[in-house]
Structure 1
Amino acid sequence: MFESKTINNDKPGLGHFVAGPFLFSLLLGGHPITIDGLFDDWEDVAIAYTDAEGDAVTADFAEIKITYDMEFLFIYFNFYEGEFLMQDWNEFHLYIDADNDPSTGHDFHGIGAELDWVFGERWGYQYVNGQQVELWQNDLTLRIGPTITSTEFEIAISRESDPLTMNSSQVLTEGKIILSEGQDNSDFIPDESGGVYFSIGEDAVPYPQPIPLERLHDDDIRIVSYNTWNDGMINEERQLHFKRILQALDPDVIALQEHWDWNEIDDIIQSWFPEDEWHASWTYRDLVVLSRFPILEDANMISSERTMAALLNTENELGTNLLLFNSHLSCCSSNEDRQQQVDEFSSIWRDWVTEGAGPFDLEYGTPFVHVGDFNYVGYRQQVETIRTGDIEDENEYGEDYLPDWDSTAIVDLFSRHSHKRMGYTWRSDGSSFNPGKLDYIFYSDATMDTGNHYTLNTLAMDTESLNGYGLQWNDTQEASDHLPRVFDISLDDAVGINETQLFPEQVKLFSNYPNPFNPNTHITFYLPHSVFVTVSVVNVMGNTVKNLLHESKPKGNWSVTWDGRNDYGEFVSAGIYFCLLRVNGVKKTKKMVLLK
């Protein structure tokens, strides 16, 4: 988490043409945008302005889109190249002329801006009646996605905020927007003076359809991940809020972060759910797992003690045990520490799967879920290391390893608030940082599928829903600065645990990863039983370039690495090659592209 506590005030397209020095947008209606760091809901929003490529000092703006719903003004923009962090490491300015009048507000690049927001500084100014008033993110109800580095971003600003209503003296109906890199001779959107014009119609953008809190199927297994903010579940002033929340969510498994207590939690959770027997893992640093299912094993996973593992006895429900990882990675600006922690975890998971070198015995193909407060507020690479096994420091932690049992990436699950089109999981209105997605759920889609999933934010729920679930409006607000994430493992016959998907009946050669590559690529294959296997690399003429494997292997997924060298240890030239797998007279090939 960042810091501080929270106070609530949470409460379709545009085309364009150029006329003289101004750029205008044509009103086509609002759009139901979800601020979550995904952008497929922007596809129906017309581009309001396309900037020239190559006219930047550092950040080269590309496109901007503008739309709205009943609560927010939405802005999307992207860059031609490079990744940026919106809450730090930049001097980007957003200027909004909220009354489309150049004679009011701050005179800048042909508009009169009522708002100047500086993203990297996390503050801005409102210009009204000749005065300059300093603003923080909560003054705008500012929402930004994603919270990590990206080439594209989406932003929401409350239509009821003071800069857009000019201190409640107007209703926002039209205005102009400018984006600036903030340096001398830097890039602008638009390049022309006068800003990008937008207008807001009288159409009613529908409110989101609420997500029911219940499971889709009664026997689905529910996991709740929750940072309880400094032992919140044993805090007398906050405990009742947690009780109502967890009883409404009715979890089977609870993964807690920021929970250092090991003495009281068993009795507390048992008293809240007296009809079932609950089990608790050992508390590792500030991590604990609570479960209706017996906990067969638990262990620390990495040297910082910021990730733990628990093996749950779900044989009766899943036909196999369930492995749960629970993480609380280093906070805030500690990017190097977070990358080290995910690198180390990925290397340990790789060795556990390929060599059995884990903290306890694990059956091949065990379904797994990785949850927690990952504090991803910096480089996207940290997310990708967990999701794809792309290790940054290979000198220290070895080669990359695709983490799922079928040699693919695992799923980074994006969940919406149950009653609001938002995706953030942490919020502190008294902080300079705006709300963001810090809490993640990753899972093996080779072995399971999702049922219901969402993030609970009681501040966004209507009175009828709150009463129906036995909740109070401020429960999530008062319990913690994080929101609980809910994930159901579906036990529906049509989805759920899928052994036929994981264990094919035939020999299978998977596509190498990465591809194209330079210099290393990983070749993975599946054997349905113990057998003698040969793996080699051949060129387009069919000549053997490198023999990689020639031995007997037991049933399972196996991986070998080609480093771009031939059998003589010489680097081969760039071009097309083929991986050749031979098993009992069966041959399978996959094309590989080696880059210079």
Structure 2
Amino acid sequence: MMRPYLNTIKIVFFALFLMLNYNLAISADYSYCGRFIIDGYFNDWNSIASIDDKIGDANGKLDILQMKVGNDEKYVYFYVKFDSTINLQENNNITLYIDNDNSATTGEQINGIGADLVWHFGQRFGIFYVEKNKYFLKHSSIELVSLPSVTSNEFEIALPIDKTVYGNKIFPQSQFRFVLATDTLGGDIIPDNGKFINFTISYCDQIPLQIINIEKENTAFIRISAWNCLQDSISNPNLKGQFERILKTINPDMMGLEELYTTDETYVTKLFNEAIPETAFYIKKQPYTDIVLVSRYPILASKQIDGNAAFLIDMQNQFHTNALVIVAHLPASQNNDSRLKEVLDIVNFIYKAKNKQIWSNLEINSPIFVIGDMNFVGLKEQLDAMLSGIYQGSGSWNDWDNTAFAEANPRLTEEPFCYSWINNLSYYGPGKLDYIFYSDYVSDLKKSFVIYTAKMSNTAISKYGLNYDDSPRASDHCPIVADFQLKNISDVKTVNEQTQQFQIENNAIVLKKNLNSFVIIYNILGQIVKQKQVKDTNKINISDLKQGIYFIVIVDNKLNTQIRSSFIKNY
């Protein structure tokens, strides 16, 4: 007679045999609580354990390489990396399947789970299963946010934990299961076929998300702002209150306005005088464009650049310098070629302006700002060219010290998102379309933010005299704001010899001299990503850095000098 425990052992081994040989559902368990910012940059994911997928298992289609998942007190976050660049909101079959009740019998069956929430990224719609009912969703139904808006091989995604759809929470339990597929017909899936990922929403002691105070902290700072005022909505009498309240709250020193097709300087002057009566503004609408610049400082001259405009600003009385401000409204949607052309025309204008070929009174090391609605929803090369001034190896670095411009990366004042465009009636999700680029050689960024009143607290709404619907009613673009402090360039001891000091070889920075140096590498947000004391070797490994634009500072310890430069990591 067989002993009972031997029967049990045989059953266990038989179950294992079935799972290994017939791909029955096997789970991987994850839980991570942390602080994430959805901005299209990924440094906040570096310390999180990854879910790696086998390379080359996509049958020639888009290959998933890696996923990560985490949460904070309000959102669940996903990170995904592919083998090639795509636009997440178009032209793909990527689908996220979430089993929110941990039951394989409800919803849509895949990989041993029953997906109650299914989101099709390329088609920009979702399905929510509740018992026997099936509801079709837009991004606004579940408040889904994903960035970057340009093409990339990496993306980050957020879903609110407490969001309800038709009276049902999308995360009713602290644990859920999910898989991600690039194409259910022969494409890649993570985890591999027959598996799924278990994630437990956990709560931890962490630094609260910093609330960005809107007030300018120092009167010596320069406040730069940009706002696309959807098809002349700024002159709509029914929206006058919305614009006055928001403009009063921002109280800009310089503000670029776009989509002012029929609105004239007289109306804008009157609006600003009523919203901010204590300040006299100079206002210039560039002919044959939809661009208006509002400035506390005199506007000395302006030039048209395609549909965009450049302005020479007199800041001599307060800062002993003039400034170059370019306000842009680039072609929208799928107009990649025309958008790239205008980007290259702008960076070429900057090159000429720096060499006094435009205005002779733009001094060396004058502040430069490029602001506005860039409509960067296509190829990432357009964003890279605007930052660097370099396209396909040709061009000249934008900044005075032969480095790339920096980007202000404004964030919603009370949410972990850096989108600037949102239209809840559209099938396109929120996007980062509006930018503030600047010469960080001469300007220090002190703070930046997006004003989206629908996501502001009762406290902030009351404090600033706003209404919750002010931003959504005024425009589908949110105003973006950044405060800067101008540097005293005479105090910066810098040597600009980047072409002679290092080169990039085989994922390494090779210094051309064996300097007794300290090397610091920053990303375009000014965050240190690598630093190294160089003594016995002239090589610095950068294989761990992601593709993108970086700044490098080489400090010569003997000569007490700094060599500043930029480089582009392409792989």
What TM bracket, shorter-length normalisation? Answer: 0.7 to 0.9
- For residues 410-443 of structure 1, the C-alpha deviation after alignment (integer angstroms, 9 at most, x for no partner) is 1022121111111110000110000010000100
Instruction: Indicate whether 1:448 and 2:452 are aligned.
Output: no
Alignment partner of 1:408: what SS? coil
- For residues 147-205 of structure 1, the C-alpha deviation after alignment (integer angstroms, 9 at most, x for no partner) is 11112111111223457x98249723211111111153211100141311111235576
Instruction: Indicate whether 1:66 and 2:69 are aligned.
Output: yes
Tell me the distance in 1 between the aligned counterparts of 2:153 and 2:343.
22
Tell me the distance in 1 between the aligned counterparts of 2:346 and 2:225.
22
**Correspondent of 1:275 among 261, 275, 278:** 278
Tell me the distance in 2 between the aligned counterparts of 1:508 and 1:44.
35
Q: Aligned-pair distance for 1:210?
A: 1.1
Instruction: Indicate whether 1:116 and 2:118 are aligned.
Output: yes
Contact map agreement 1:98 1:166 (CA 8 A) in 2:
no
Alignment partner of 1:289: what SS? strand
Residue 292 of structure 1 aligns with an amino acid whose one-letter code is R
Partner of residue 434, structure 1 = 429
Change (3 A) 1:222 1:109: same
TM-score (norm 2): 0.80
Tell me the distance in 1 between the aligned counterparts of 2:104 and 2:133.
16
More moved, 458-467 vs 140-149: 458-467
Kindly tell me the number of residue pairs found equivalent between the two proteins: 485
Tell me the distance in 1 between the aligned counterparts of 2:451 and 2:497.
42
Percent sequence identity is: 29
Change (3 A) 1:327 1:383: same
Residue 318 of structure 2 aligns with an amino acid whose one-letter code is E
Change (3 A) 1:313 1:84: same
Tell me the distance in 2 between the aligned counterparts of 1:275 and 1:482.
27
**Correspondent of 1:461 among 450, 456, 460:** 456
Tell me the distance in 2 between the aligned counterparts of 1:309 and 1:513.
34
Partner of residue 422, structure 1 = 417
- For residues 287-330 of structure 1, the C-alpha deviation after alignment (integer angstroms, 9 at most, x for no partner) is 010111111111112xx32x211111111222201111100000
Change (3 A) 1:102 1:336: same
**Correspondent of 2:162 among 160, 163, 172:** 160
Alignment partner of 2:340: what SS? helix
Partner of residue 4, structure 1 = none
Tell me the distance in 2 between the aligned counterparts of 1:95 and 1:153.
17
Instruction: Indicate whether 1:298 and 2:299 are aligned.
Output: no
Partner of residue 291, structure 2 = 287
Task: Spell out the pairing of 1:29-108 with structure 2 (5 A cutoff).
Answer: 29-47=32-50, 49-56=51-58, 57-79=60-82, 81-108=83-110
Change (3 A) 1:204 1:236: farther
Contact map agreement 1:339 1:382 (CA 8 A) in 2:
yes
Change (3 A) 1:421 1:37: same
Output the aligned Cα RMSD.
2.7
Instruction: Indicate whether 1:510 and 2:513 are aligned.
Output: no
Q: Aligned-pair distance for 1:468?
A: 1.6
Change (3 A) 1:169 1:176: closer
Residue 210 of structure 1 aligns with an amino acid whose one-letter code is I
Partner of residue 489, structure 2 = 498
Q: Aligned-pair distance for 1:379?
A: 0.8
Contact map agreement 1:366 1:447 (CA 8 A) in 2:
yes
Tell me the distance in 2 between the aligned counterparts of 1:201 and 1:259.
47
Partner of residue 219, structure 1 = 220
Residue 92 of structure 1 aligns with an amino acid whose one-letter code is I
Tell me the distance in 1 between the aligned counterparts of 2:76 and 2:389.
37
Residue 322 of structure 2 aligns with an amino acid whose one-letter code is N
Change (3 A) 1:359 1:170: closer
Which of structure 1's runs of 4+ aligned residues deviate more than 4 A? 202-207, 512-518
Contact map agreement 1:22 1:192 (CA 8 A) in 2:
no
- For residues 123-151 of structure 1, the C-alpha deviation after alignment (integer angstroms, 9 at most, x for no partner) is 12222323332211111111001111112
Unaligned runs of 5+ in 1: 1-18, 519-536, 538-587
Higher percent of residues as helix: 2
Change (3 A) 1:127 1:432: same
Partner of residue 176, structure 1 = 177
Alignment partner of 2:238: what SS? coil
Contact map agreement 1:419 1:457 (CA 8 A) in 2:
no
Contact map agreement 2:39 2:147 (CA 8 A) in 1:
yes
Contact map agreement 2:101 2:172 (CA 8 A) in 1:
no
TM-score (norm 1): 0.76
Tell me the distance in 1 between the aligned counterparts of 2:402 and 2:171.
57
Unaligned runs of 5+ in 2: 1-18, 507-511, 513-562
Change (3 A) 1:317 1:202: same
Q: Aligned-pair distance for 1:69?
A: 2.2
Q: Aligned-pair distance for 1:270?
A: 2.2
Change (3 A) 1:182 1:167: same
Partner of residue 481, structure 1 = 476
